[in-house]
Structure 1
């Protein structure tokens, strides 16, 4: 690290602001965002960000939402938790779409390295943010069990955290991890459905429209996209098979289990949408 010269010290003995800025950049580049430390700093930063978002959701809702104050303590906790999950879902959906469809990182012919072993500091950092969120949310679900969700949520978050953490740490299969994370696209709509329900707007037009959006978003992000992912794995199987055995199992196992759960939930969504449409007719 560069030593501060005598000339850099002002007449009153203080260090100019530009030198603090320089040392902050060095600390960020050489330590916090250095490749070996990215997984850990991103997870820690994500956990701290989760706390900030949770508190902001609580503060904003308490000030601007009349329904919030009438909720029970458990409902307010779930309200704040869903605000947190919505922010994470928006972030990870955008980033996953970027890496899968817009970035050249995983495009065929872009790099001589196998697709299953490609990564970048930015992609690893993004996965670390998601790992931090899943750990926080899983901890809250277990701590308040079963208020925030049953065993299916614990299974879903455990599988997701394991798969994302493995991909982040080993840098294997990041493309398929981002494909699965695109399914978080449905989370904001699911949360909105819950918000409308506790706010007493279950019979509103907004509730019906939200249900229709959930149906199509779920069909696209959690059914069709999973089919696309398995097709991509089939076309690139000669590269997938070269992964570590644990990563190989995760590529097939986690999406399969999540896909089955998605189909089960999709059946419930379809049943609920039909019921809602019948009431509107």
Structure 2
């Protein structure tokens, strides 16, 4: 049975690369181009619509526009992750369609490529403007994310886990909104407090509890994971653990910040 699935996965990969060789490269380029487009539109729209934007220092403006890119990507990838992982039948429990770990489609592969393009663009900006846009924890997060995304995109394996983990991007708009409110001097507003509580709840669900579901799913489907290449095997076992550890580290900081804000508001 193991030999059969190994041969089946190899043949699937060969057919995929032969039939859709343009998908990975095209999707990554589209992702990079979309990031640049959002960055330019953010400069244009914010310069016209938000009076506070023009008063910000140059580095603050760059971070403002950078966060606009991450917000658009988060909304885009979260919506499509929900659809592909739960709304479509691509990863259903239909055993006749083969192991869930080896299922993919042109759409699912293209979307992963767009996300790779985003992480490449964001990582380039982090290095170019270092350390203003993030430290080494962000670099580690992006490198692991790109490795998992690229592997799932190029091989068609492990895409289900990739999309489940990408659901954690649902927390990004709230994080960015918190930064925006602080940048325009609304740190003591009610909106800032409400947003902080929302960040805590979404982070708990999407980056803590959801990762527990991923660990459980990996345990249940471990026999399929053993059919992967050595790189894919260790990637699926290591990446969620490292990313989950980073999420817990940030969750502790978010919890402390929320408690501090609520205590100050109560006083």
Q: TM-score, normalised by structure 2?
A: 0.91
Q: What is the CA distance between 1:110 and its match in structure 2?
A: 5.3
Partner residue of 2:10? none
Residue ranges of structure 1 left out of the alignment (5+ in a row):
1-33
Residue ranges of structure 2 left out of the alignment (5+ in a row):
1-18
- Answering whether residue 172 of structure 2 is matched by residue 192 of structure 1, we say no
Q: Deviations over 1:190-241 (max 9, x none)?
A: 0000000010000000000000000000000000000001111111111111
Q: What is the CA distance between 1:41 and its match in structure 2?
A: 0.5
Moved over 3 A (4+): none
Partner residue of 2:90? 105
Partner residue of 1:58? 43
Whole-angstrom distance in 2 between the partners of 1:233 and 1:161: 20
More helix by share: 2
Whole-angstrom distance in 2 between the partners of 1:237 and 1:102: 24
Higher relative contact order (CA 8 A, sep 6+): 2
- Answering whether residue 225 of structure 2 is matched by residue 249 of structure 1, we say no
Matching of residues 84-233 of structure 1 within 5 Å: 84-109=69-94, 111-233=96-218
Whole-angstrom distance in 2 between the partners of 1:208 and 1:174: 36
Q: Deviations over 1:45-72 (max 9, x none)?
A: 1111111111001110000001101111
Q: 1:129 to 1:111 in 2, by over 3 A?
A: farther
- Answering whether residue 220 of structure 2 is matched by residue 235 of structure 1, we say yes
Say if 1:116 and 1:243, in contact at 8 Å, map to a contact too. no
Q: For this pair of structures, how many residues does the alignment match?
A: 248
SS of residue in 1 equivalent to 2:97: coil
For the aligned residue pairs, the C-alpha RMSD in angstroms reads: 0.9
Q: Deviations over 1:234-272 (max 9, x none)?
A: 111111111111111111111100100100100000000
SS of residue in 2 equivalent to 1:200: coil
Whole-angstrom distance in 2 between the partners of 1:245 and 1:110: 25
Whole-angstrom distance in 2 between the partners of 1:39 and 1:97: 21
Partner residue of 2:65? 80
Q: TM-score, normalised by structure 1?
A: 0.87
